[in-house]
């Protein structure tokens, strides 16, 4: 049986393993293909591909774009996965550059706010942890943890610190799910809705939301996901079928031990269908 994991993070964003380490680990676990899907960056893809060629495992170029959807009941953060994008695409590069710069700017502001709250970490502390270009809240959380201000990473994501709407939180650069989908499609890639059953605020997306994204050009649904229940998996599979969406899946492994590489294994038929969609 050939199987794949299409949702992995490396040190290019907030993962703990380098792209090479990640691909090596996937190969040793028997995967035939993986997709690297770092937050808002494709800077780890070249290294992952080189490792894939050396080890004999297929590496699919991917990205996970963070979008904010303005719905009538409030804003929700929605993640859009992009697969098989052209890494040289000009407007993709321009938008990613803006996002990466704004992430840096946002990190500076959040560190300043934390300092005012008595959390004395510096941007240099964060920079030592964030080796890649895509700076995120997990890097700040790790800096807080290493300095002994919190005893668990998730404490940083409370309203007291950098949780959404928290005292030291700074809003991110906003792109809508529609813009994210169009950006991926424009760069020749396939746009897939990530973990519809597991949004950062604990809610999930339903059929109507997914229908709206289909109108914007969505082509796939991440049905298989480490934090989806059997019930959710079943429900999203039905929705995918109804809207004629590709079925994908992945673990969202970040290198730690909350979610393990190998916890999600999707059939190679899903990978083939994804490639045929191009
Ligand atoms: P950012 O993209 O910088 O806003 O950071 C979002 C990332 O932080 C998510 O993709 C998760 O990896 C991580 N994250 C969000 N909420 C939590 C939490 N409660 N505990 C641990 N990590 C979290
Ligand atoms: Zn992450
Ligand atoms: Fe995500
Ligand atoms: Fe992810």
The residue whose C-alpha atom lies closest to atom 14 belonging to ligand 1 is 138
- Which residues of the chain fall below pLDDT 50? none
Nearest residue to 199 via CA among 98, 66, 82, 102: 66
- CA–CA separation, 261 and 251 (whole Å): 7
Q: Following DSSP, what letter does each residue of 145-174 receive, concatenated?
A: HHTTS-SSGGGGGSTTTTSTT-TT--PPPP
> Ligand 1 in contact with 157 (CB < 6 A)?
yes
pLDDT in tens, 158-187: 999 999 999 999 998 989 999 999 999 999
Nearest residue to 215 via CA among 238, 245, 189: 245
- CA–CA separation, 170 and 114 (whole Å): 11
CB 61 within 8 A of CB 45: yes
Please tell me whether the overall predicted TM-score, pTM, comes out greater than 0.75 for this model. Answer: yes
Q: Which residues pair with 65 in a beta bridge?
A: 80
- For 176-206, give one letter per residue: b (16+ CB within 10 A) or e: ebbbbbbbbbbbebbbbbbbbbbbeeeebbe
> Ligand 1 in contact with 9 (CB < 6 A)?
no
How many residues would you count in the chain? Answer: 278
> Ligand 1 in contact with 138 (CB < 6 A)?
yes
For residue 7, give every residue at least 6 positions away whose Cβ sits within 8 Å of its Cβ, in sequence order, or none: 35, 37, 62, 64, 81, 194, 222, 225, 248, 249, 250, 251, 252, 253, 264
Q: Which residues pair with 46 in a beta bridge?
A: none
Task: Select from 37, 67, 174, 200 the residue to mutate for testing ligand 1; criterion: most ligand atoms less than 8 Å from CB.
Answer: 200
> Ligand 1 in contact with 37 (CB < 6 A)?
no
The per-residue pLDDT for 141 is 98
> Ligand 1 in contact with 277 (CB < 6 A)?
no
The per-residue pLDDT for 223 is 98
CA distances from residue 110 to 25, 77, 113, 115, 139 in whole angstroms, order as listed: 34, 18, 5, 9, 11
Task: Select from 7, 14, 77 the residue to mutate for testing ligand 1; criterion: most ligand atoms less than 8 Å from CB.
Answer: 14
Nearest residue to 68 via CA among 163, 206, 201: 201
CB 63 within 8 A of CB 81: yes
> Ligand 1 in contact with 137 (CB < 6 A)?
yes
Nearest residue to 193 via CA among 217, 169, 175: 217
The per-residue pLDDT for 200 is 87
């Amino acid at each position: 049986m050939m199987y794949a994991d299409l949702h992995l993070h490396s040190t290019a964003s907030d993962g703990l393993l380098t792209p090479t380490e990640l691909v090596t680990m996937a190969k040793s676990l028997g995967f035939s293909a993986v997709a690297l899907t770092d937050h808002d960056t494709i800077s780890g893809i070249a290294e992952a591909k080189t490792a894939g060629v050396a080890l004999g495992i297929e590496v699919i170029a991917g990205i996970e774009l963070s979008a904010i959807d303005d719905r009538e009941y409030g804003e929700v953060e929605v993640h859009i996965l992009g697969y098989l994008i052209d890494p040289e695409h000009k407007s993709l590069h321009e938008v990613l550059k803006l996002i990466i710069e704004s992430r840096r700017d946002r990190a500076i502001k959040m560190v300043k706010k934390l300092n005012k709250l008595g959390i004395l970490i510096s941007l240099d502390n964060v920079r030592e942890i964030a080796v890649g270009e895509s700076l995120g809240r997990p890097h700040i959380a790790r800096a807080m943890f290493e300095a002994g201000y919190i005893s668990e990473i998730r404490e940083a994501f409370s309203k007291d610190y950098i949780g959404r709407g928290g005292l030291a939180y700074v809003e991110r650069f906003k792109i809508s799910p529609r813009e994210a989908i169009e950006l991926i499609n424009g760069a020749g890639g396939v746009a897939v809705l990530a973990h519809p059953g597991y949004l950062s605020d604990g809610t999930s997306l339903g059929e109507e939301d997914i229908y709206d994204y289909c109108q914007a050009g969505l082509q796939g649904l991440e049905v298989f996901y480490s934090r989806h229940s059997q019930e959710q998996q079943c429900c999203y599979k039905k929705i995918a079928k109804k809207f004629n969406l590709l079925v994908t899946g992945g673990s969202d492994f970040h290198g730690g031990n909350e979610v393990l590489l190998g916890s999600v294994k999707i059939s190679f038929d899903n990978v083939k269908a994804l490639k045929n969609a191009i």
